[in-house]
Homo-oligomer: A and B are copies of this chain.
Protein backbone atom coordinates (compact mmCIF):
# COMPACT_ATOMS: atom_id res chain seq x y z
CA UNK A 1 0.00 0.00 0.00
CA UNK A 2 1.35 3.40 -0.87
CA UNK A 3 1.84 5.94 1.88
CA UNK A 4 -0.99 8.21 0.70
CA UNK A 5 -3.41 5.30 0.59
CA UNK A 6 -2.27 4.22 4.03
CA UNK A 7 -3.28 7.55 5.54
CA UNK A 8 -6.73 7.01 4.03
CA UNK A 9 -7.09 3.37 5.02
CA UNK A 10 -5.83 3.80 8.59
CA UNK A 11 -7.41 7.15 9.44
CA UNK A 12 -10.99 7.88 10.45
CA UNK A 13 -12.28 5.76 7.53
CA UNK A 14 -10.78 2.68 9.23
CA UNK A 15 -14.40 1.75 9.82
CA UNK A 16 -17.35 -0.16 8.41
CA UNK A 17 -19.66 1.46 5.90
CA UNK A 18 -22.73 0.96 8.10
CA UNK A 19 -21.30 3.21 10.82
CA UNK A 20 -21.50 6.06 8.31
CA UNK A 21 -24.94 5.20 6.95
CA UNK A 22 -26.27 4.91 10.52
CA UNK A 23 -24.62 8.20 11.49
CA UNK A 24 -26.34 9.93 8.58
CA UNK A 25 -29.65 8.35 9.56
CA UNK A 26 -29.26 9.69 13.12
CA UNK A 27 -28.36 13.08 11.68
CA UNK A 28 -31.39 13.07 9.44
CA UNK A 29 -33.68 12.05 12.31
CA UNK A 30 -32.22 14.67 14.64
CA UNK A 31 -30.82 11.95 16.91
CA UNK A 32 -27.13 12.38 16.15
CA UNK A 33 -26.38 14.43 19.25
CA UNK A 34 -28.62 12.42 21.54
CA UNK A 35 -26.41 11.16 24.40
CA UNK A 36 -25.82 7.42 24.33
CA UNK A 37 -23.74 4.85 26.13
CA UNK A 38 -22.00 1.87 24.56
CA UNK A 39 -20.20 -0.87 26.53
CA UNK A 40 -17.26 -2.82 25.15
CA UNK A 41 -16.96 -6.36 26.48
CA UNK A 42 -16.15 -9.86 25.27
CA UNK A 43 -18.49 -12.79 25.67
CA UNK A 44 -16.17 -15.75 26.12
CA UNK A 45 -12.55 -16.56 26.82
CA UNK A 46 -10.44 -17.57 23.80
CA UNK A 47 -11.00 -21.25 23.05
CA UNK A 48 -7.97 -22.79 21.37
CA UNK A 49 -9.68 -26.04 20.48
CA UNK A 50 -8.08 -28.46 22.90
CA UNK A 51 -7.83 -25.87 25.66
CA UNK A 52 -9.42 -22.59 26.73
CA UNK A 53 -8.30 -19.55 28.68
CA UNK A 54 -9.70 -19.01 32.20
CA UNK A 55 -8.90 -15.29 32.21
CA UNK A 56 -7.85 -12.57 29.78
CA UNK A 57 -5.26 -9.80 30.01
CA UNK A 58 -6.66 -6.42 29.00
CA UNK A 59 -4.64 -4.58 26.33
CA UNK A 60 -4.89 -2.12 23.46
CA UNK A 61 -6.36 0.97 25.10
CA UNK A 62 -3.42 3.36 24.72
CA UNK A 63 -3.13 2.74 20.98
CA UNK A 64 -6.88 3.21 20.59
CA UNK A 65 -6.62 6.57 22.36
CA UNK A 66 -3.65 7.54 20.15
CA UNK A 67 -5.78 6.73 17.10
CA UNK A 68 -8.76 8.69 18.46
CA UNK A 69 -6.56 11.73 19.09
CA UNK A 70 -5.36 11.82 15.48
CA UNK A 71 -8.46 10.63 13.60
CA UNK A 72 -10.47 13.32 11.85
CA UNK A 73 -12.27 13.78 8.54
CA UNK A 74 -9.80 15.26 6.10
CA UNK A 75 -11.07 17.07 3.05
CA UNK A 76 -10.23 14.05 0.88
CA UNK A 77 -12.20 11.75 3.16
CA UNK A 78 -15.21 14.03 2.82
CA UNK A 79 -14.79 14.17 -0.95
CA UNK A 80 -14.60 10.40 -1.12
CA UNK A 81 -17.83 10.05 0.85
CA UNK A 82 -19.40 12.66 -1.41
CA UNK A 83 -18.54 10.50 -4.42
CA UNK A 84 -20.24 7.36 -3.08
CA UNK A 85 -23.45 6.57 -4.88
CA UNK A 86 -26.54 4.54 -4.12
CA UNK A 87 -28.12 2.00 -6.47
CA UNK A 88 -29.87 4.78 -8.34
CA UNK A 89 -26.66 6.72 -8.89
CA UNK A 90 -27.65 9.42 -6.38
CA UNK A 91 -25.06 10.31 -3.73
CA UNK A 92 -25.42 8.25 -0.55
CA UNK A 93 -24.29 11.06 1.74
CA UNK A 94 -25.94 14.47 1.59
CA UNK A 95 -24.01 17.77 1.76
CA UNK A 96 -25.46 18.85 5.14
CA UNK A 97 -24.41 15.56 6.75
CA UNK A 98 -20.93 15.84 5.23
CA UNK A 99 -20.66 19.38 6.61
CA UNK A 100 -21.61 18.07 10.01
CA UNK A 101 -18.99 15.29 9.72
CA UNK A 102 -16.33 17.82 8.80
CA UNK A 103 -17.25 20.00 11.78
CA UNK A 104 -18.17 17.46 14.42
CA UNK A 105 -16.86 14.12 13.19
CA UNK A 106 -14.09 13.73 15.75
CA UNK A 107 -14.06 11.98 19.09
CA UNK A 108 -13.69 15.15 21.17
CA UNK A 109 -17.27 14.93 22.46
CA UNK A 110 -16.89 11.43 23.90
CA UNK A 111 -16.05 10.36 27.45
CA UNK A 112 -14.41 6.99 28.01
CA UNK A 113 -14.03 5.04 31.22
CA UNK A 114 -11.93 1.89 31.02
CA UNK A 115 -10.26 -0.88 32.95
CA UNK A 116 -6.49 -0.20 32.69
CA UNK A 117 -4.27 -2.26 30.40
CA UNK A 118 -2.51 -5.17 32.03
CA UNK A 119 -5.42 -5.97 34.34
CA UNK A 120 -6.88 -9.47 34.31
CA UNK A 121 -10.43 -9.32 32.89
CA UNK A 122 -13.41 -11.61 32.36
CA UNK A 123 -16.38 -12.08 29.99
CA UNK A 124 -19.41 -9.77 30.04
CA UNK A 125 -17.61 -7.16 32.11
CA UNK A 126 -17.49 -3.76 30.38
CA UNK A 127 -13.81 -3.05 29.73
CA UNK A 128 -14.55 0.31 28.13
CA UNK A 129 -17.64 2.45 28.63
CA UNK A 130 -18.22 5.12 25.98
CA UNK A 131 -20.62 8.03 26.51
CA UNK A 132 -21.35 10.79 24.05
CA UNK A 133 -23.41 11.92 21.06
CA UNK A 134 -25.00 8.90 19.42
CA UNK A 135 -23.57 9.38 15.90
CA UNK A 136 -20.01 9.95 17.14
CA UNK A 137 -20.12 7.07 19.61
CA UNK A 138 -21.40 4.86 16.79
CA UNK A 139 -18.56 5.96 14.48
CA UNK A 140 -16.00 4.79 17.05
CA UNK A 141 -17.25 1.20 17.16
CA UNK A 142 -15.23 -0.53 14.46
CA UNK A 143 -11.85 0.94 15.28
CA UNK A 144 -12.36 0.46 19.02
CA UNK A 145 -13.17 -3.21 18.47
CA UNK A 146 -10.24 -3.68 16.11
CA UNK A 147 -7.76 -2.10 18.53
CA UNK A 148 -8.96 -3.83 21.69
CA UNK A 149 -10.00 -7.29 20.49
CA UNK A 150 -6.63 -8.18 19.00
CA UNK A 151 -4.33 -6.86 21.71
CA UNK A 152 -6.37 -8.48 24.48
CA UNK A 153 -6.31 -11.75 22.54
CA UNK A 154 -2.51 -11.69 22.26
CA UNK A 155 -1.79 -10.43 25.79
CA UNK A 156 -3.91 -13.34 27.01
CA UNK A 157 -2.00 -15.87 24.92
CA UNK A 158 1.33 -14.42 26.07
CA UNK A 159 0.30 -14.71 29.70
CA UNK A 160 -0.59 -18.37 29.22
CA UNK A 161 2.76 -19.08 27.55
CA UNK A 162 4.60 -17.17 30.27
CA UNK A 163 2.81 -19.27 32.90
CA UNK A 164 3.52 -22.57 31.16
CA UNK A 165 7.21 -21.59 30.85
CA UNK A 166 7.29 -20.98 34.61
CA UNK A 167 8.23 -17.35 34.08
CA UNK A 168 11.50 -18.11 32.28
CA UNK A 169 12.66 -15.69 29.59
CA UNK A 170 10.10 -15.47 26.76
CA UNK A 171 10.91 -13.87 23.39
CA UNK A 172 8.29 -12.88 20.79
CA UNK A 173 9.46 -13.90 17.30
CA UNK A 174 6.25 -13.76 15.22
CA UNK A 175 6.64 -10.81 12.85
CA UNK A 176 7.16 -12.90 9.71
CA UNK A 177 3.94 -14.86 10.01
CA UNK A 178 1.79 -12.27 11.75
CA UNK A 179 -1.36 -11.02 10.08
CA UNK A 180 0.19 -8.08 8.25
CA UNK A 181 0.92 -4.91 10.13
CA UNK A 182 -1.10 -6.23 13.04
CA UNK A 183 2.32 -7.62 13.98
CA UNK A 184 3.22 -4.43 15.81
CA UNK A 185 0.10 -4.36 17.96
CA UNK A 186 0.62 -8.07 18.58
CA UNK A 187 4.21 -7.60 19.71
CA UNK A 188 3.15 -4.83 22.08
CA UNK A 189 0.38 -7.00 23.51
CA UNK A 190 2.83 -9.88 23.92
CA UNK A 191 5.15 -7.60 25.90
CA UNK A 192 2.25 -6.62 28.16
CA UNK A 193 1.02 -10.17 28.55
CA UNK A 194 4.21 -12.05 29.32
CA UNK A 195 6.93 -11.77 26.66
CA UNK A 196 10.13 -10.21 27.98
CA UNK A 197 11.39 -9.01 24.61
CA UNK A 198 10.52 -9.15 20.92
CA UNK A 199 12.65 -9.62 17.81
CA UNK A 200 10.65 -6.81 16.14
CA UNK A 201 13.16 -3.97 15.81
CA UNK A 202 10.91 -1.04 14.93
CA UNK A 203 8.31 -1.85 17.53
CA UNK A 204 11.01 -2.29 20.18
CA UNK A 205 12.34 1.10 19.23
CA UNK A 206 8.89 2.69 19.46
CA UNK A 207 8.37 1.23 22.95
CA UNK A 208 11.91 1.71 24.24
CA UNK A 209 12.82 -1.96 24.54
CA UNK A 210 15.98 -3.64 23.23
CA UNK A 211 15.08 -6.09 20.42
CA UNK A 212 16.46 -9.64 20.63
CA UNK A 213 17.86 -12.04 18.06
CA UNK A 214 21.01 -13.72 16.81
CA UNK A 215 21.30 -15.51 13.47
CA UNK A 216 19.36 -17.75 11.11
CA UNK A 217 20.12 -20.98 9.26
CA UNK A 218 20.90 -18.91 6.19
CA UNK A 219 24.10 -17.59 7.80
CA UNK A 220 25.39 -21.11 8.30
CA UNK A 221 24.35 -22.00 4.73
CA UNK A 222 26.33 -19.05 3.33
CA UNK A 223 29.52 -20.24 5.00
CA UNK A 224 28.81 -23.81 3.90
CA UNK A 225 28.29 -22.76 0.29
CA UNK A 226 31.58 -20.84 0.45
CA UNK A 227 33.37 -23.93 1.76
CA UNK A 228 33.91 -22.74 5.32
CA UNK A 229 31.27 -24.91 6.92
CA UNK A 230 29.27 -24.53 10.11
CA UNK A 231 32.41 -24.07 12.19
CA UNK A 232 33.45 -21.16 10.01
CA UNK A 233 30.05 -19.56 10.46
CA UNK A 234 30.15 -19.98 14.24
CA UNK A 235 33.68 -18.57 14.45
CA UNK A 236 32.66 -15.56 12.39
CA UNK A 237 29.71 -14.96 14.68
CA UNK A 238 31.88 -15.26 17.79
CA UNK A 239 34.41 -12.87 16.31
CA UNK A 240 31.82 -10.19 15.55
CA UNK A 241 29.71 -10.71 18.70
CA UNK A 242 32.12 -12.11 21.30
CA UNK A 243 29.98 -11.09 24.27
CA UNK A 244 26.61 -11.95 22.72
CA UNK A 245 27.41 -15.29 21.19
CA UNK A 246 24.27 -17.38 20.82
CA UNK A 247 24.56 -20.07 18.14
CA UNK A 248 21.83 -21.86 16.18
CA UNK A 249 23.01 -25.47 16.15
CA UNK A 250 20.50 -27.38 14.01
CA UNK A 251 21.37 -26.40 10.42
CA UNK A 252 23.15 -29.71 9.67
CA UNK A 253 22.91 -32.12 12.59
CA UNK A 254 22.29 -30.86 16.09
CA UNK A 255 24.12 -33.47 18.16
CA UNK A 256 26.86 -34.49 15.71
CA UNK A 257 27.74 -31.16 14.16
CA UNK A 258 26.03 -28.12 15.67
CA UNK A 259 26.73 -28.76 19.35
CA UNK A 260 30.35 -29.97 18.97
CA UNK A 261 31.11 -26.96 16.76
CA UNK A 262 29.40 -24.57 19.17
CA UNK A 263 31.33 -26.00 22.13
CA UNK A 264 34.59 -25.65 20.24
CA UNK A 265 33.83 -21.99 19.51
CA UNK A 266 32.71 -21.41 23.11
CA UNK A 267 36.06 -22.79 24.32
CA UNK A 268 37.91 -20.49 21.93
CA UNK A 269 35.84 -17.54 23.16
CA UNK A 270 36.55 -18.33 26.79
CA UNK A 271 40.27 -18.50 26.12
CA UNK A 272 39.95 -14.94 24.81
CA UNK A 273 38.16 -13.86 27.97
CA UNK A 274 34.54 -13.91 26.78
CA UNK A 275 31.64 -15.94 28.15
CA UNK A 276 29.23 -17.39 25.55
CA UNK A 277 25.50 -16.72 25.86
CA UNK A 278 24.03 -19.97 24.61
CA UNK A 279 22.67 -22.14 21.84
CA UNK A 280 19.34 -22.29 20.02
CA UNK A 281 17.42 -25.42 18.98
CA UNK A 282 14.85 -24.86 16.22
CA UNK A 283 13.85 -28.35 15.05
CA UNK A 284 13.53 -31.95 16.12
CA UNK A 285 12.44 -33.27 19.53
CA UNK A 286 13.15 -30.21 21.64
CA UNK A 287 12.79 -32.06 24.96
CA UNK A 288 15.23 -34.81 23.99
CA UNK A 289 17.64 -32.45 22.27
CA UNK A 290 17.67 -29.97 25.15
CA UNK A 291 18.59 -32.79 27.56
CA UNK A 292 21.39 -33.95 25.27
CA UNK A 293 22.54 -30.38 24.71
CA UNK A 294 22.58 -29.72 28.46
CA UNK A 295 24.59 -32.88 29.04
CA UNK A 296 27.18 -31.95 26.39
CA UNK A 297 27.40 -28.34 27.54
CA UNK A 298 27.69 -29.39 31.19
CA UNK A 299 30.46 -31.85 30.41
CA UNK A 300 32.30 -29.22 28.36
CA UNK A 301 32.21 -26.80 31.26
CA UNK A 302 29.35 -24.58 30.13
CA UNK A 303 26.65 -25.43 32.66
CA UNK A 304 25.13 -21.97 32.64
CA UNK A 305 24.78 -20.97 28.98
CA UNK A 306 21.20 -20.60 27.85
CA UNK A 307 19.34 -23.15 25.74
CA UNK A 308 16.88 -21.27 23.56
CA UNK A 309 13.99 -23.31 22.17
CA UNK A 310 11.95 -22.28 19.15
CA UNK A 311 9.74 -23.93 16.47
CA UNK A 312 5.97 -23.90 16.77
CA UNK A 313 5.91 -23.40 20.53
CA UNK A 314 2.82 -22.58 22.52
CA UNK A 315 1.68 -23.11 26.10
CA UNK A 316 0.85 -26.80 25.65
CA UNK A 317 4.06 -27.64 23.76
CA UNK A 318 6.16 -25.90 26.43
CA UNK A 319 4.25 -27.68 29.19
CA UNK A 320 4.91 -31.02 27.50
CA UNK A 321 8.60 -30.27 26.99
CA UNK A 322 9.03 -29.39 30.65
CA UNK A 323 7.08 -32.45 31.73
CA UNK A 324 9.25 -34.67 29.57
CA UNK A 325 12.46 -33.07 30.81
CA UNK A 326 11.41 -33.64 34.42
CA UNK A 327 10.91 -37.30 33.70
CA UNK A 328 13.76 -38.04 31.29
CA UNK A 329 16.65 -35.76 32.27
CA UNK A 330 17.77 -37.76 35.36
CA UNK A 331 18.45 -40.90 33.32
CA UNK A 332 21.03 -38.91 31.32
CA UNK A 333 22.57 -37.48 34.51
CA UNK A 334 21.07 -34.05 33.92
CA UNK A 335 19.36 -32.19 36.76
CA UNK A 336 15.92 -31.30 35.38
CA UNK A 337 15.44 -28.18 37.52
CA UNK A 338 18.79 -26.84 36.47
CA UNK A 339 17.98 -27.48 32.83
CA UNK A 340 14.48 -25.95 33.05
CA UNK A 341 15.99 -22.86 34.63
CA UNK A 342 18.35 -22.31 31.72
CA UNK A 343 15.66 -22.62 29.04
CA UNK A 344 14.57 -19.60 27.03
CA UNK A 345 11.48 -19.71 24.78
CA UNK A 346 11.30 -18.07 21.37
CA UNK A 347 7.64 -18.09 20.42
CA UNK A 348 6.40 -16.96 17.01
CA UNK A 349 3.34 -17.77 14.95
CA UNK A 350 1.25 -19.44 17.62
CA UNK A 351 1.57 -16.41 19.90
CA UNK A 352 1.24 -13.52 17.43
CA UNK A 353 -1.78 -15.08 15.68
CA UNK A 354 -3.24 -16.76 18.80
CA UNK A 355 -3.40 -19.97 16.86
CA UNK A 356 -6.60 -21.94 17.44
CA UNK A 357 -8.49 -18.83 18.58
CA UNK A 358 -7.61 -16.17 16.05
CA UNK A 359 -10.08 -13.55 17.31
CA UNK A 360 -11.57 -12.33 20.56
CA UNK A 361 -15.35 -12.04 20.36
CA UNK A 362 -15.49 -8.53 21.80
CA UNK A 363 -18.58 -6.45 21.06
CA UNK A 364 -19.65 -2.81 21.47
CA UNK A 365 -23.25 -2.60 22.50
CA UNK A 366 -25.70 0.23 23.08
CA UNK A 367 -26.83 0.01 26.72
CA UNK A 368 -28.50 3.40 27.33
CA UNK A 369 -29.89 6.46 25.51
CA UNK A 370 -30.86 9.82 26.97
CA UNK A 371 -34.48 10.90 26.65
CA UNK A 372 -35.51 14.29 28.00
CA UNK A 373 -32.47 14.42 30.25
CA UNK A 374 -33.11 10.96 31.67
CA UNK A 375 -31.06 7.90 30.80
CA UNK A 376 -33.17 5.09 29.36
CA UNK A 377 -31.54 1.64 29.56
CA UNK A 378 -31.42 -0.16 26.22
CA UNK A 379 -31.50 -3.91 25.87
CA UNK A 380 -31.18 -6.50 23.16
CA UNK A 381 -32.71 -9.83 23.97
CA UNK A 382 -31.17 -12.87 22.35
CA UNK A 383 -32.50 -16.38 21.97
CA UNK A 384 -29.22 -17.32 23.67
CA UNK A 385 -29.70 -15.98 27.25
CA UNK A 386 -25.95 -15.40 27.68
CA UNK A 387 -26.08 -12.91 24.80
CA UNK A 388 -28.80 -10.75 26.38
CA UNK A 389 -27.23 -7.42 27.32
CA UNK A 390 -26.68 -6.09 30.81
CA UNK A 391 -28.43 -2.73 30.38
CA UNK A 392 -27.76 0.81 31.53
CA UNK A 393 -25.09 2.63 33.48
CA UNK A 394 -23.00 0.31 35.54
CA UNK A 395 -20.10 0.16 37.92
CA UNK A 396 -17.63 -2.72 37.92
CA UNK A 397 -16.22 -4.06 41.18
CA UNK A 398 -13.75 -6.82 41.96
CA UNK A 399 -14.21 -8.63 45.25
CA UNK A 400 -11.27 -10.27 47.02
CA UNK A 401 -11.76 -12.90 49.71
CA UNK A 402 -9.84 -13.32 52.97
CA UNK A 403 -7.10 -15.29 51.15
CA UNK A 404 -6.51 -12.24 48.96
CA UNK A 405 -7.87 -14.09 45.93
CA UNK A 406 -10.32 -12.45 43.53
CA UNK A 407 -13.64 -14.19 44.13
CA UNK A 408 -15.88 -12.37 41.64
CA UNK A 409 -16.38 -9.34 39.40
CA UNK A 410 -19.62 -7.61 40.27
CA UNK A 411 -21.66 -5.37 37.92
CA UNK A 412 -23.83 -2.88 39.80
CA UNK A 413 -26.05 0.03 38.89
CA UNK A 414 -24.33 3.38 38.75
CA UNK A 415 -25.64 4.54 42.13
CA UNK A 416 -24.76 1.36 44.01
CA UNK A 417 -21.60 0.88 46.07
CA UNK A 418 -21.11 -2.62 47.40
CA UNK A 419 -18.54 -1.25 49.86
CA UNK A 420 -21.48 0.35 51.68
CA UNK A 421 -23.58 -2.83 51.76
CA UNK A 422 -23.74 -5.00 54.85
CA UNK A 423 -24.11 -8.11 52.74
CA UNK A 424 -23.34 -8.28 49.05
CA UNK A 425 -25.67 -10.35 46.87
CA UNK A 426 -23.98 -11.77 43.76
CA UNK A 427 -26.61 -12.86 41.25
CA UNK A 428 -25.83 -15.23 38.39
CA UNK A 429 -26.02 -13.18 35.15
CA UNK A 430 -28.62 -15.38 33.43
CA UNK A 431 -30.02 -18.06 35.77
CA UNK A 432 -33.04 -17.18 37.91
CA UNK A 433 -32.64 -17.79 41.63
CA UNK A 434 -28.94 -18.59 41.44
CA UNK A 435 -26.94 -16.28 43.68
CA UNK A 436 -24.64 -16.20 46.63
CA UNK A 437 -24.41 -13.71 49.49
CA UNK A 438 -21.15 -12.53 51.02
CA UNK A 439 -21.01 -10.73 54.35
CA UNK A 440 -18.52 -7.86 54.49
CA UNK A 441 -16.35 -9.85 56.93
CA UNK A 442 -15.82 -12.48 54.22
CA UNK A 443 -14.56 -9.79 51.86
CA UNK A 444 -11.01 -8.44 52.19
CA UNK A 445 -11.37 -5.73 49.56
CA UNK A 446 -13.82 -4.38 46.99
CA UNK A 447 -12.00 -2.64 44.18
CA UNK A 448 -13.65 -0.37 41.58
CA UNK A 449 -12.16 -1.21 38.17
CA UNK A 450 -13.18 1.57 35.78
CA UNK A 451 -11.07 4.72 35.42
CA UNK A 452 -11.92 7.79 33.34
CA UNK A 453 -9.35 7.90 30.55
CA UNK A 454 -10.68 10.26 27.85
CA UNK A 455 -12.62 13.52 27.96
CA UNK A 456 -12.83 16.58 25.70
CA UNK A 457 -10.61 15.11 23.05
CA UNK A 458 -7.69 14.07 25.19
CA UNK A 459 -6.32 11.50 27.58
CA UNK A 460 -7.19 12.43 31.18
CA UNK A 461 -5.53 9.57 33.07
CA UNK A 462 -1.92 8.71 33.75
CA UNK A 463 -1.71 5.71 31.45
CA UNK A 464 0.54 2.99 32.83
CA UNK A 465 3.91 2.17 31.25
CA UNK A 466 4.43 -1.33 29.84
CA UNK A 467 6.38 -2.16 33.02
CA UNK A 468 3.45 -1.02 35.18
CA UNK A 469 1.01 -3.03 33.06
CA UNK A 470 3.20 -6.09 33.55
CA UNK A 471 3.25 -5.52 37.30
CA UNK A 472 -0.57 -5.31 37.31
CA UNK A 473 -0.82 -8.46 35.25
CA UNK A 474 1.54 -10.37 37.50
CA UNK A 475 -0.29 -9.25 40.64
CA UNK A 476 -3.73 -9.98 39.16
CA UNK A 477 -2.73 -13.44 37.92
CA UNK A 478 -1.36 -14.29 41.35
CA UNK A 479 -4.65 -13.18 42.90
CA UNK A 480 -6.57 -15.69 40.75
CA UNK A 481 -7.56 -19.01 42.21
CA UNK A 482 -5.10 -21.68 40.94
CA UNK A 483 -8.03 -23.44 39.29
CA UNK A 484 -8.77 -20.36 37.18
CA UNK A 485 -5.10 -20.17 36.10
CA UNK A 486 -5.08 -23.80 34.96
CA UNK A 487 -4.01 -24.10 31.29
CA UNK A 488 -6.56 -26.77 30.37
CA UNK A 489 -10.17 -26.88 31.55
CA UNK A 490 -9.86 -23.97 34.00
CA UNK A 491 -12.36 -23.33 36.76
CA UNK A 492 -14.99 -20.67 35.96
CA UNK A 493 -14.49 -17.23 37.48
CA UNK A 494 -17.71 -15.62 38.70
CA UNK A 495 -19.06 -12.51 37.00
CA UNK A 496 -22.22 -11.49 38.85
CA UNK A 497 -24.91 -8.83 38.96
CA UNK A 498 -26.22 -6.97 42.00
CA UNK A 499 -29.83 -7.66 42.89
CA UNK A 500 -30.97 -4.30 41.53
CA UNK A 501 -29.19 -4.75 38.20
CA UNK A 502 -30.63 -8.26 37.89
CA UNK A 503 -34.12 -6.90 38.57
CA UNK A 504 -33.73 -4.08 36.02
CA UNK A 505 -32.61 -6.57 33.38
CA UNK A 506 -35.60 -8.83 34.04
CA UNK A 507 -38.00 -5.87 33.95
CA UNK A 508 -36.64 -4.74 30.56
CA UNK A 509 -36.91 -8.25 29.17
CA UNK A 510 -40.53 -8.42 30.36
CA UNK A 511 -41.34 -5.05 28.77
CA UNK A 512 -39.83 -6.18 25.50
CA UNK A 513 -41.67 -9.48 25.45
CA UNK A 514 -44.99 -7.68 25.94
Contacts and interface: CB of A to CB of B under 8 A. Distances in A.
B179 A358 contact: yes
Nearest to A511: B224
A226 B173 CA distance: 51
Interface string A362-386: 1001101101000011111111100
A143 B513 CA distance: 54
Given A36-B222, A150-B179, 11 more contacts: A3-B70, A16-B173, A18-B216, A19-B213, A29-B240, A49-B49, A149-B176, A178-B359, A180-B183, A180-B185, A225-B376
A178 B179 contact: yes
Contacts of A176: 16, 141-142, 145-146, 149
A283 B382 contact: yes
Interface centre among A11, A22, A204, A362, by most chain B C-beta atoms within 10 angstroms, is A22
Contact of A10 (B24, B181, B365, B377): B181
Contacts of A16: 173, 175-176, 199-201, 211, 213
Contacts of A14: 175, 181, 183-184, 200-202
Contacts of A31: 222, 226
A26 B25 CA distance: 61
A10 B145 contact: no
A211 B359 contact: no
Given A36-B222, A181-B185, A358-B179, A1 B200 contact: no
A59 B20 CA distance: 29
Contact of A180 (B184, B218, B240, B243): B184
Interface string A353-364: 111101111100
10 contacts: A9-B203, A26-B222, A28-B239, A84-B211, A86-B244, A87-B277, A88-B243, A146-B175, A180-B184, A226-B371
A353 B353 CA distance: 8
Contacts of A142: 175-176
A369 B222 contact: yes
A229 to B, nearest CB: 10
Contacts of A381: 252
Interface of A: 1-3, 5-6, 8-11, 13-22, 24-26, 28-29, 31, 34, 36, 38, 49, 63, 66-67, 70, 77, 80, 84-88, 90, 92, 134, 138, 141-142, 145-147, 149-151, 173, 175-186, 188, 199-206, 210-219, 221-222, 224-227, 236-237, 239-241, 243-244, 251-252, 277, 283-284, 349, 353-356, 358-362, 365-366, 368-369, 371, 376-384, 512
Contacts of A11: 202
A499 B147 CA distance: 52
A176 B149 CA distance: 8
A221 B366 contact: yes
The 10 closest A-B pairs by CB, nearest first: A180-B182, A17-B213, A182-B182, A13-B202, A18-B213, A179-B182, A179-B179, A353-B358, A180-B185, A5-B206
Contacts of A36: 222
A24 to B, nearest CB: 7
A384 B283 CA distance: 10
Interface centre among A19, A80, A178, A215, by most chain B C-beta atoms within 10 angstroms, is A178
Total copies of this chain within the assembly = 2
Given A18-B213, A210-B84, A380 B251 contact: yes
A9 B202 contact: yes
Given A49-B49, A175-B146, A134 B180 contact: no
A66 to B, nearest CB: 5
A274 to B, nearest CB: 9
Nearest to A60: B180
Interface centre among A92, A134, A184, A200, by most chain B C-beta atoms within 10 angstroms, is A184
Contacts of A138: 218
A304 B147 CA distance: 39
A153 to B, nearest CB: 8
A84 B209 CA distance: 10
Contacts of A353: 179, 353, 358-359
B240 A378 contact: no
Contacts of A203: 9
Given A180-B185, A225-B376, A366-B222, A66 B18 contact: no
Contacts of A18: 199, 213-216
B365 A218 contact: yes
A1 B68 CA distance: 10
A191 B13 CA distance: 18
Interface centre among A145, A146, A185, A203, by most chain B C-beta atoms within 10 angstroms, is A146
A150 to B, nearest CB: 5
